[in-house]
Structure 1
Amino acid sequence: MSMSWADVRFMLERARGLIRRGIASLRTRGPAATWARVRRQFARRAPPAAAPLYFPADAAFAPFAVPASDAPRASIVIPVYNQATYTLACLRALAEHPPIATCEIIVVDDGSTDQTGEWMAQVAGLHYHRRATNGGFIAACNDGAARAAGEYLVFLNNDTVPQPGWLDALLATFDAHARVGLAGAQLIYPDGRLQEAGGVVFDDGSAWNYGRFDSPDDPRYASVRDADYCSGAAIAIAATLFHAAGGFDTRYAPAYYEDTDLAFAVRERGLRVLYQPASRVVHLEGITAGTDTGSGTKAYQVRNRAVFAGKWKNVLHRQPGAGRIPTAGSVVRKRQVLVIDAETPRAQHDSASLRLVNLMKMLGNDDAHVVFLPADLRDAQDDTMRLRQQGVEVWQAPFVNRVSTWLREHGQRFDVVMVSRHYVAAEFLPLVRRFAPQARVVFDTVDLHFLRELRGAELADDAGLRRAAEQTRARELALVKRADITLVVSPVERDMLSTWLPGARVEVLANLHALADGGLPFAQRRDLVFVGGFRHPPNVDAVLWFGREVFPLIRARQPDLRFHCIGMGPPAEVLALQAHPGIVVHGHVPDLGPYMDGVRVAIASLRFGAGVKGKINLSMAHGQPVVATSCAAEGMHLTDGHDVLIADDAGAFADAVLRLYQDADLWARLSAHGRENIARHFSMDAAQDTVRKVFRARV
């Protein structure tokens, strides 16, 4: 494909931005750290290889055992009619990779005449029920459900090979999402192609297997998503709901459309039908009934379409028109929000990432479909997977090669486009305006970068940094003018922008935190902690100042104290602080809980920066009191002595730390008031009105 002017303009803006940021990094971080950032920026990362499909060994029958429990969470119901070798492969797969969840397996034999009865009787732990007469798929499933003891019914075709982890992923859908009535697996052909990523139903009652023959790893099919129905080859539903709905409707007997009908019945009760891509099941399709709709059992698919259309005629008019091939835009029938940031957020690493992840969660909970596009187009693996399990449609290479091409194809989908950070917005806003002209454009500053740069320049007394900060200011203000709405994280920054650009619409969306348990009491806590990633220059300066100038004053008066320094990528000068007695530099830790819940006092020793400080929010959400500088406490609705202690010179900071460390009553007051501050100003409940005003209401 030839390069367009949109591609050229995008690449030129990206090149200018990289050069500007590289020069600024050289001035603030030095050559070594800058070179590391350059290598990370341009490193080639191939997408992770898809896990090979698992198939049990093809061997002669020998007795074996399947998972079994007297108190199952899930009852796996497998209806069978002949095809004993396929049933054997399905059961072997369940036996060789047992789930974590307790389960029972019920095979309902609908009158087989092959080796089914002989083999099933020799499978230990299996509940085998043979029906007196052949009644078809629906009768066999309803029979199995009546014999099930599990909280959830899981219907599984015998011509399937469940992949490792399939059942736990399917059940986790009910725990992770609200109002889930039914969850369905991702169905894959034996050759690795996608068979179904949830189904689409048209207004005439006909249906479509979404994603058929595409890659299972395509971003369109890789996230949890509402579906019109999920194929009964592998679905889960609460047993009470299944029985309340009357089971599979016998008017469709012997088979076909009963799964679609059940999904519509679930939604009629105000519950959701979700497709779960992490639950992968190989489905041979048509082994028992064949694939010819002109003869045999498969012919009921044509007849039952008319039955289904008659039953649900009052709701089918809401479905898409027949004959339209579903697209990523049309298959999701709710508000669609595109979010663009520099890279995939890593909520366990920095507060900006946590804020963005929680914002996308809030949008999803408010019935929006969120699409995320990282500017670096990289698959962040576990972090990408977490977003997809949250219901966010995440795109990356190789499924996106040129962002202009992707936006040209997808831009018309979106009601709102949010672009984070000024250097990302500078690259993407022209493309968004061109290819998504209908969308409201939101510029998320994350924090005002120029303000942080200017304060750093003043601290360093560097004229070059001051000029660079003024240039950043001009670029940020220009982007505020071009956006429909601008988001800042504090009232201080909102007031600044209102002064400079009185006509701009600016809203405050602060850090977003959930209150954690209070952790250990005062007497069982020890030591001091600082949390902050070291790709952020203010954090490097803060730790060096505290470690070199403040902590020695503290240790001189209380020698048993230790200072825990936590954050990804500590540079050499921070690592060198460990030469000082009592300082421990941990780098990144995967679980901050023990440090939030077991360390007595948090340190926020920032001497320059902007926005609101996630490290303070994080500690206060855990009930951990904080000693902070005025810069760190700016815009956070904090009062010295009420919910924080504030000090700015080394001696006063040391005094405040020791006072808080030794005074149990003061500690308890600050702990309680800090949690109140989070609930009032930084919780998702507190942000709900702003999020709805920005992303849902009409401008």
Structure 2
Amino acid sequence: MKFKILDKSKQFINTFSSFISFIILNPKKFLLKIKNSYKYLKRGDFQVIKNKLIIFLAKDSDLKKIDIKTYNIKDFGEKHFDFPIFKDPSVSIIIPVYNKLDYTFSCLNSLMENIKDIPYEVIVADDNSTDETKNIETYVKNIKIIRNKKNIGFLKNCNNASKFANGKYILLLNNDTNIQSDYLKYLLELIESDEKIGIVGSKIIYPNGILQEAGGIIWKDGSSASYGNGDEPEKYRYNYIKEVDYVSGCSIMIKKKLWDDIGGFDERFAPSYYEDSDLAFEARKHGYKVLYQPKSTIVHFENISHGNNAPHLLANKKAFYKKWNKILEKEHFSKDKDFFLARDRSFNKKTILIIDHRIPTPDQDAGSKTIYQYLELFCELGLNVKFMPDDFRYDAIYAQKLENMGIEILYGKYYYNNFKKWIKENAKYFDFALLSRPDIAVKYMDLIKTCSKAKVLYYGHDLHYIRGLRRYETEKEPAILKESEKWKKIEFSVFNKADLILTPSINEKIIIDNNSSGKKTKVVPPFFYDNFNLTNKDFTERKDILFVGGFNHTPNVDGILWFLREIFPLIIKNIKDARLISAGSNPPDILRNMDNGHNIMIKGYVDDKELKNLYGNARIAIIPLRYGAGVKGKTVEAMYYGVPVVSTSFGIEGMPDIQKTIKPIDDAKQFAAEVIKIYNSESLFKLMSEKETAYIKKHFFKETAKNIFLDILDLNKP
């Protein structure tokens, strides 16, 4: 999908204008922001200032427009196409036609330009055309042409042509369509991602760029609605994969076996209308899902393929209701009501709203990884999941991962200004709300509690005020103590309003329980794994000492600097070729300047693949934290990979019975001695690796987390 990008000068003018408007309309807020920025500047927290600026710019940005392409319908006398020949096509593209060669040629042109690296065949099903379509082979080579001796209508024409299909999948494609870039790729990826997906369909756009349909809705009375018709196709609500009642017949991909098992379109709906809806209901009857894929976009001129047959529409609606009335009465909503649930078949699902500071970036920080895993788990548990980032910024790289799971994300300028309205309008549908982090929870807690009957869950990642106290004990800065006191007030205000407090550690549960009378607290694993079949390198192939952690988190900066200044020099005296590798986003300049290209390497951000390689080459993982709170993702992750961990007390806190596996060391000399001992002992390395892997299997197994949330979300109840 391509996007139009604003000219940089125009973008600057728009942003500058909004900035001046903000100052004029909100002088007190502006002065407060200046005061806060000075506070961060004084403390040297430049990354915080940068992030706040990014958030401001994101709030001012409008949605990026989808750039569609249509193909000239008058080109067929000038161009000739030679389609590629594949011995074993994956997809059989069936194009039913009756006259209108100009549209057919335009459709074929779009196929030629936009299908890459996928084996396919094209079947043109000619329903006894009388125009130049009868000579289509003059213009187009290497396609199958199935000609009917008489006109049998759209539906029967599709059924007949399907008998000649050799692909694993059938794609029914109207001739009055133009597919867009990677249209077929995204349909194929989705239908092959789950064996229980039987049908997939596209985002359908009119030639003027307006949305025609983002999945179809069938109401209780059998009438239908094209969801999103007439709206802007780039809006958030149309951009996530979801189950739908049906997908439009102008673009349907279906498993060939399922098509054959069903028997194709039900001919009681001939010549057309409701055959696509009926096919979707049949697919579900056979145990398959029907999904909408927003990345697969198509332009549809509409009503060219089979004309306007209004009498058939009314008659077929009655026939459809007669056939499926029991299902309609049981599983569907009254007409034009409950769009929030009807648009993605959530009649039997519980809805959860998750709010966090931004779209999670699981490869950059531990908190994001936790929220990402929870989101993924909620989808697997069958919940209707909605996610609201507090910055309302759309980060395509990470947002699309959530949208591919079926998660609807609220983002953009409109929702920044109207999130309260959206919550108030839809709160009646919320069964649960999960609020993440104290500064985020305090902003939304009262609104959700007032507007909805949702069970409100709070997950803080750690106790911020405890982390601040421990930092104060290390740095003795009065401003840090004052900040800690502020966090304590916020956190306990949130605790007292939440219905259930979720915490990653038993230590924090005890603190919360002792200070929040009558509140229910539940320990939940912040990370979990289900694949323990890792292939690890031999001890002799490993040379490195590894530290992993994002540097927007001040305990990580303090910890690695302490290690490099006071511990690593002691190690180098004993192990001349030892090398420290630090991996984590946004390392400060003071740390980057310590990279000597020899035995200290500061890598900054690394992707998951490179991180896995770093663990594979590491002999030891260090967790040299001198303050902090909560369960540390870097500790759990290193243990999962079977890398022996040397840690301070803060690096392993909150993990049950962890001292039976890892002995905490807070003294610099003793820390160095432990690293040296493990580094030089293959037997000790293997022993610790085995013990750590066994620990993770016991305490951080995905099935354990799943069972905890089944109980929390009342999903065990019939």
**Same fold, judged at TM 0.5 (above):** yes
Query: Which region of structure 1 is more displaced relative to structure 2, 142-151 or 421-430?
Result: 142-151
CA apart distance, 1:571: 0.9
Which of 407, 412, 422 is residue 397 of structure 1 equivalent to?
A: 412
Aligned to 1:669: 687
Residue 418 in 1 paired to residue 430 in 2?
Answer: no
CA apart distance, 1:178: 6.7
Amino acid at match of 2:638: S
CA 1:505–1:666: 2 relative to 1, 3 Å:
same
Alignment of 1:231-242 (within 5 A): 231-242=248-259
How far, CA to CA, are the matches of 2:28 and 2:422 in structure 1?
18
How far, CA to CA, are the matches of 1:174 and 1:649 in structure 2?
56
Which of 346, 354, 362 is residue 361 of structure 2 equivalent to?
A: 346
CA 1:668–1:211: 2 relative to 1, 3 Å:
same
Tell me the alpha carbon deviations over residues 49-81 of structure 1, each in whole angstroms, 9 at most, x when there is no partner: 223102235523422233442222222222222
Alignment of 1:503-518 (within 5 A): 503-514=518-529, 515=531, 518=534
CA 1:394–1:533: 2 relative to 1, 3 Å:
same
Question: Equivalent residue of 2:166, what SS?
Answer: coil
- The answer (yes or no) to whether the contact 2:211–2:229 under 8 Å persists in 1 is yes
Question: Equivalent residue of 2:330, what SS?
Answer: coil
How far, CA to CA, are the matches of 2:640 and 2:191 in structure 1?
27
Amino acid at match of 2:571: I
Aligned to 2:316: 304
Query: Which region of structure 1 is more displaced relative to structure 2, 580-589 or 34-43?
Result: 34-43
How far, CA to CA, are the matches of 1:498 and 1:14 in structure 2?
36
Aligned to 2:656: 637
Alignment of 1:97-108 (within 5 A): 97-108=114-125
Tell me the alpha carbon deviations over residues 524-549 of structure 1, each in whole angstroms, 9 at most, x when there is no partner: 33312222111110111111112222
CA apart distance, 1:202: 1.2
Aligned to 1:8: none
CA apart distance, 1:392: 0.5
How far, CA to CA, are the matches of 2:552 and 2:28 in structure 1?
23
How far, CA to CA, are the matches of 1:615 and 1:447 in structure 2?
14
Aligned to 1:459: 474
Residue 30 in 1 paired to residue 40 in 2?
Answer: no
Amino acid at match of 1:667: F
Residue 628 in 1 paired to residue 642 in 2?
Answer: no
Tell me the alpha carbon deviations over residues 434-491 of structure 1, each in whole angstroms, 9 at most, x when there is no partner: 222x111111112111111111111112343223213312221121111101111112
- The answer (yes or no) to whether the contact 1:518–1:623 under 8 Å persists in 2 is no
CA apart distance, 1:577: 1.5
CA apart distance, 1:388: 0.9
Which of 574, 586, 603 is residue 569 of structure 1 equivalent to?
A: 586
Question: Equivalent residue of 1:43, what SS?
Answer: helix
Aligned to 2:423: 407
How far, CA to CA, are the matches of 1:19 and 1:486 in structure 2?
34
Question: Equivalent residue of 2:198, what SS?
Answer: strand
CA apart distance, 1:122: 4.4
Residue 616 in 1 paired to residue 632 in 2?
Answer: no
Amino acid at match of 1:413: Y
Which of 180, 187, 193 is residue 210 of structure 2 equivalent to?
A: 193
- The answer (yes or no) to whether the contact 1:202–1:319 under 8 Å persists in 2 is no
Percent of aligned pairs sharing the same letter? 32
CA 1:143–1:413: 2 relative to 1, 3 Å:
same
CA apart distance, 1:645: 5.5
CA 1:328–1:547: 2 relative to 1, 3 Å:
same
- The answer (yes or no) to whether the contact 2:96–2:305 under 8 Å persists in 1 is no
- The answer (yes or no) to whether the contact 1:513–1:621 under 8 Å persists in 2 is no
How far, CA to CA, are the matches of 1:355 and 1:18 in structure 2?
30
CA 1:142–1:667: 2 relative to 1, 3 Å:
farther
Residue 378 in 1 paired to residue 393 in 2?
Answer: yes
- The answer (yes or no) to whether the contact 1:14–1:427 under 8 Å persists in 2 is no
Aligned to 2:196: 179
Aligned to 1:648: 666
How far, CA to CA, are the matches of 2:698 and 2:144 in structure 1?
54
Aligned to 1:208: 225
Which of 112, 127, 130 is residue 113 of structure 1 equivalent to?
A: 130
Aligned to 1:693: 711
How far, CA to CA, are the matches of 1:524 and 1:83 in structure 2?
67
Tell me the alpha carbon deviations over residues 282-331 of structure 1, each in whole angstroms, 9 at most, x when there is no partner: 111101323351xxxxx322211111111112211024455325533443
- The answer (yes or no) to whether the contact 2:177–2:299 under 8 Å persists in 1 is yes
Alignment of 1:33-48 (within 5 A): 33-44=47-58, 45-47=60-62
CA apart distance, 1:638: 5.6
CA 1:13–1:285: 2 relative to 1, 3 Å:
farther
- The answer (yes or no) to whether the contact 2:351–2:429 under 8 Å persists in 1 is yes
Aligned to 1:95: 112
CA 1:322–1:462: 2 relative to 1, 3 Å:
closer
Residue 542 in 1 paired to residue 559 in 2?
Answer: yes
Tell me the alpha carbon deviations over residues 267-293 of structure 1, each in whole angstroms, 9 at most, x when there is no partner: 123322111111111111101323351
Residue 318 in 1 paired to residue 324 in 2?
Answer: no
CA apart distance, 1:340: 0.7
Aligned to 1:659: 677
CA 1:498–1:181: 2 relative to 1, 3 Å:
same
- The answer (yes or no) to whether the contact 1:646–1:656 under 8 Å persists in 2 is no
CA 1:640–1:284: 2 relative to 1, 3 Å:
same
CA 1:13–1:439: 2 relative to 1, 3 Å:
farther
How far, CA to CA, are the matches of 1:440 and 1:257 in structure 2?
40
Question: Equivalent residue of 1:328, what SS?
Answer: helix
- The answer (yes or no) to whether the contact 1:61–1:119 under 8 Å persists in 2 is no
Aligned to 2:12: none
- The answer (yes or no) to whether the contact 1:139–1:250 under 8 Å persists in 2 is yes
Aligned to 2:13: none
- The answer (yes or no) to whether the contact 1:24–1:468 under 8 Å persists in 2 is no
Amino acid at match of 1:309: Y
Unaligned runs of 5+ in 2: 1-25
CA 1:491–1:336: 2 relative to 1, 3 Å:
same
Alignment of 1:448-487 (within 5 A): 448-487=463-502
CA 1:137–1:660: 2 relative to 1, 3 Å:
farther
- The answer (yes or no) to whether the contact 2:710–2:716 under 8 Å persists in 1 is no
Tell me the alpha carbon deviations over residues 378-415 of structure 1, each in whole angstroms, 9 at most, x when there is no partner: 11122112111111100111331232222222222211
CA RMSD between the two structures = 2.7
Question: Equivalent residue of 2:340, what SS?
Answer: coil
Aligned to 1:488: 503
Query: Which region of structure 1 is more displaced relative to structure 2, 177-186 or 608-617?
Result: 177-186
CA 1:520–1:18: 2 relative to 1, 3 Å:
farther
How far, CA to CA, are the matches of 2:28 and 2:278 in structure 1?
52
CA apart distance, 1:175: 4.0
CA 1:15–1:189: 2 relative to 1, 3 Å:
same
How far, CA to CA, are the matches of 1:48 and 1:304 in structure 2?
39
CA apart distance, 1:673: 3.2
CA apart distance, 1:41: 4.1
